[in-house]
Every structure is written in structure tokens, then in C-alpha cells.
Amino acid sequence: MSLIDEVVKYYVESGKGTRKVGEKFGISKDKVNKYVREAGVVRSNHFLTYNKRYFEHIDTEHKAYWLGFIMADGNIYDYTKRPKYSLDIALQAKDKGHLEKLSKELSYTGEIRERLIAGKYPSCRLQLHGKEIVNDLTELGCGPNKTMSLQVPKIPKELLRHFIRGYFDGDGSITIYDDGYKDKLSISLCCGNEEFLNQVQSIIIEELNLTEVKIYSDKRSNLKEYRKARIDAFKILTWLYKDSSVYLDRKYEKYIVSCRLYEETL
């Protein structure tokens, strides 16, 4: 078998991108593209497998977490053309390990792809095709054009903190800074739908007995924001991250820093 035949065969059967295929054979990705194009190969994603019914029932910490994360950072598409149904998640390249966690959880046989956005911003991407996963997510309130209509899903109460942690890892922030006297801690959670943030706040109030705050509205971006600071922020982070088994590593590391600042006050 010639090198060209081996390259094309491996490209079709492995599901790997042209860069990875090129690395295996010691050639450039452009050369792989040339071989594949000349061979007339159009690779289908149908041979890539994953658990398409993963979100059919939200009954574990991990399922609740990934539902929240996808609500924050996932894009759901329902096209009239092929591929009709898809879930697309794109993150900063430094968070590739997080997408690899999801890929493993879903038993996905493909790879996380890397690319430059606008030619200069490194990113990574996981794209899944399938009617089943899109329909299950849509049933949970995570469908196409979800930004302005998000609702906290109806899942077991004991899983809500894991769902909120997933959303927070996607669309939340942790800030630690020094005001000259003592390190300060603040957190925020963003969404296009104020009702969703009020639902989240109600859960937090019930669980932690914190005071209610007004949802901040940014008129420029049309985003809504739930904010808490200092000890209240630390209580929320502790509720979200303590004894959890799935999280965005860099957010968890900030939680650990906050523990050193505030844990003696609890």
C-alpha cells in the first residue's frame, strides 16, 4: 500500500483531523488535505460514536453539571440542511482539558479540534451531531436560541448545585483583589434572561440563607448579572465546589485560594 493510500485510509478510519494524521505520517496537514481531496474522500461523522442519550435522564452529579455547562457555553443547532442537529462547544485553548472531560464522559470516539479564531485567538472545539442529544437538551430547556429564554430545569433538588456549578463554570467569574487592607472576593453570574438568575438566586437563598440582591443590568450588552462579594461569595463557592467531582480546573483553583482567605470565618 502506498503512503497516499495509507494516509487516506487512516484519515477515514481514525476520525482524527488532518494535523494529527500528518503528525503520524510525518507530513504536513496541507499534504494530508491534498491526498484526501485527490482521493475524492468526503468523511462522514456518522462513524464517530458517543452516548447520544446521555441527557435523557438527569440523575447524576456529572449529568447535572454538564447540562449547566452546556446551557452556558454550548450552542444547539437545528438546521433545515445537513447536518440538521448538532451541539457545538468552543472554549479557549487553555480549557481543552475540560472538553476532554466531557468527551470522555460521553464516550466520544472523535477528537477535540483546535483552531485560531480571527486568525489569532487559540481555541478548541467539540462538535457532536445527532437528533437524540439535541432533542433531549431541548426538552430540558437547552435548545436553539436559548440565551433569552433559559430556565432552571426540573431536575432532582439534590442535583441543583451541580447544575449551577456547571453554569457558573461557563458564564460565571471569580475575582480576588487587594483593597489595601484585606483581600476581597467577588463572584458574578451572567445570563441574558433575568428570570433565570432570579431562579438561581432563590435556590441559593433557600440553601444558604443569604440576603436577596437586585440583579444588575448592563444596558450596553443587554446581559443581566447576579453579584455577591466577600463572605457571601465564599459561602456560595463552598456550596458549589466543596466535595464536587467535576469542575473547570481554573475556577476550582480560585475557590481554593478563597478558602485560604475566608474558611476561618465560617
Query: What pLDDT score does 41 carry?
Result: 58
Query: With respect to CATH, is domain 44-142 assigned 3.10.28.10?
Result: yes
Beta pairing, strands 113-117 & 74-78? unpaired
Angstrom distances, CA of residue 16 to CA of 8, 83, 126: 11, 19, 13
- Inter-axis angle of helices 230-241 and 160-171, to 10 degrees? 120
Angstrom distances, CA of residue 201 to CA of 161, 188, 195: 12, 11, 10
Domain locations in the chain as residue ranges: 3-43, 44-142, 169-265
Q: With contact defined as beta carbons under 8 Å apart, do 49 and 108 qualify?
A: yes
Phi, psi of 75 (to 5 degrees): -120, 130
The fold adopted by the segment(s) 169-265 is Endonuclease I-creI (3.10.28)
The DSSP letter of residue 107 is T
Let me know if 186 is exposed, middle or buried by CB neighbors in 10 A (0-12, 13-18, 19+): middle
- The two most distant CA atoms of the chain are separated, in Å, by 71
Q: What is the pTM of this model?
A: 0.82
Strands annotated E in the chain = 74-78, 85-92, 113-117, 121-129, 172-178, 183-191, 216-218, 223-229
Q: Could you check whether 44-142 and 169-265 share the same CATH topology? A: yes
- Kindly write down the DSSP assignment for every residue of 29-81, as one continuous string: HHHHHHHHHHTT----GGG----TTTTSS--SHHHHHHHHHHHHHEEEEE-SS
Q: With contact defined as beta carbons under 8 Å apart, do 140 and 67 qualify?
A: yes
**CA angle, 35 as apex, 31 and 39 as ends, to 5°?**
165
Query: What pLDDT score does 264 carry?
Result: 63
- pLDDT tens, per residue, the chain with 266 residues: 788 878 877 877 777 778 888 888 899 888 888 887 776 655 555 567 899 999 999 999 999 999 999 999 999 987 655 557 889 999 999 999 999 999 999 999 888 988 888 778 899 999 888 889 999 999 999 988 887 889 999 999 999 999 999 999 999 999 998 765 566 899 999 999 999 999 999 999 999 999 999 999 987 878 899 999 999 999 999 999 999 999 999 999 999 999 988 866 65
Handedness of CA 15, 85, 63, 198 (dihedral sign): positive
Grid coordinates of 12: 477515514
Listed residue (55, 223, 85) closest to 147, CA to CA = 223
Angstrom distances, CA of residue 157 to CA of 22, 68, 160, 193, 194: 48, 14, 5, 22, 21
Listed residue (158, 140, 160) closest to 150, CA to CA = 140
Q: With contact defined as beta carbons under 8 Å apart, do 67 and 153 qualify?
A: yes
